[in-house]
């Protein structure tokens, strides 16, 4: 298997679309344009959008041009025509681009035929291209060829063949098609959910600690208030007792004075 050919995004001069499933790219470093078969119109649109994003990141604008047909037959459009200066192969599969760089896998062997495995359609799909096949949910189809992770060639009960999105069908042995990117998305979603749950748990623990601290402060204030009320009550009783004692002393002094005055009067009367 060959290596990966790499071209800097700034070397991309223009992009044209000879058909719904092919792209023609002109590079300043190459003498002739490169023609790529993208497998489907949706993949073609996704590649153009990615190239536009990479061009914008490089401070440039992607130039989309219209070109006259180069005589590509329908058979070549289905199975991928190659530029004369490139070695023949079944197709070129675009590889995820790094910032300011676009990569395509080279010299990858074609995927072997599936050998007539049956599969169940998971969702309705309406064909939008001549090579696509309309299928309906719960329909049983025969997998003719697993072209790539995005499109599979299938045959329905009426004998019609065409491609459908790989994610729309599930092999009847229970194996569901899933791309590496989707698995990474699931892992990232699980990791994000776990981080959110951890953050929520930490926030709840902090909230409970703050509530416990406030409750302890409130209990301390209530204890201090009760102790102050108790001390005030004791001080009031002491003052009342002291006042009662002073009143008793004053009453005894008054009686004593009365007794002395009466004795003095009796003495004076006796002298007369």
Nearest to 151 by CA among 135, 172, 173, 174: 135
In a domain? residue 233: no
> Domain of 126?
113-178
Query: Distance (Å, rounded) from C-alpha 27 to C-alpha 78?
Result: 25
CATH classification at residue 137:
2.30.30.40
In a domain? residue 74: yes
Query: Distance (Å, rounded) from C-alpha 153 to C-alpha 171?
Result: 13
In a domain? residue 207: no
135 in Cβ contact with 43 (< 8 Å): no
In a domain? residue 148: yes
Which of 144, 163, 178 marks a domain boundary?
178
Grouping H, G, I as helix, E, B as strand and the rest as coil, residue 210 is: helix
Continuous segment of H or E residues that includes residue 13: strand 12-19
Output the tens digit of pLDDT for each of the chain's 272 residues: 444 467 788 888 888 888 777 888 888 888 888 887 777 778 888 888 888 888 788 788 888 876 544 444 444 444 443 333 344 334 433 443 333 334 443 334 444 444 568 999 999 999 998 899 999 999 999 999 887 888 999 999 999 999 999 999 999 875 545 555 566 778 888 999 999 999 999 999 999 999 999 999 999 999 999 999 999 999 999 999 999 999 999 999 999 999 999 888 888 888 87
In a shared domain, residues 10 and 61? yes
Nearest to 47 by CA among 116, 111, 95: 95
In a domain? residue 13: yes
Pairing of strands 22-27, 12-19: antiparallel
Cα–Cα–Cα angle for 207, 209, 210, nearest 5°? 65
Total number of domains in the chain? 2
């Amino acid at each position: 298997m060959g290596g990966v050919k790499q071209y800097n995004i700034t070397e991309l001069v223009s992009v044209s679309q000879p058909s719904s499933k092919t792209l023609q790219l002109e590079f300043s470093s190459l003498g002739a344009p490169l023609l790529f078969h993208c497998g489907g119109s949706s993949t073609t649109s996704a590649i153009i959008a990615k190239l536009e994003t990479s061009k914008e990141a490089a401070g440039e604008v992607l130039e989309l041009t219209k070109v006259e047909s180069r005589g590509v037959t329908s058979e070549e459009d289905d199975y991928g025509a190659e530029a004369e200066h490139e070695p023949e192969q079944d197709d070129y599969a675009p590889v995820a681009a790094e910032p300011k760089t676009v990569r395509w896998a080279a010299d990858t062997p074609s995927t072997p035929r599936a050998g007539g495995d049956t599969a169940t359609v998971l969702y309705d799909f309406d064909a939008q291209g001549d090579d696509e096949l309309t299928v309906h949910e719960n329909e049983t189809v025969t997998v003719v060829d697993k072209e790539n992770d995005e499109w599979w060639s299938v045959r329905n009960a009426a004998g019609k063949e065409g491609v459908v999105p790989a994610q729309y069908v599930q092999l009847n042995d229970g194996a569901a098609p899933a791309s590496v990117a989707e698995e990474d998305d699931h892992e990232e979603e699980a990791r994000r959910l776990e981080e959110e749950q951890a953050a929520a748990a930490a926030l709840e623990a902090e909230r409970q600690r703050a509530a416990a601290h406030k409750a302890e402060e409130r209990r301390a204030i209530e204890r201090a208030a009760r102790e102050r009320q108790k001390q005030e009550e004791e001080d009031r009783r002491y003052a009342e007792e002291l006042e009662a004692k002073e009143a008793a002393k004053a009453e005894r002094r008054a009686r004593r004075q009365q007794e002395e005055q009466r004795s003095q009067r009796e003495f004076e009367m006796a002298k007369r």
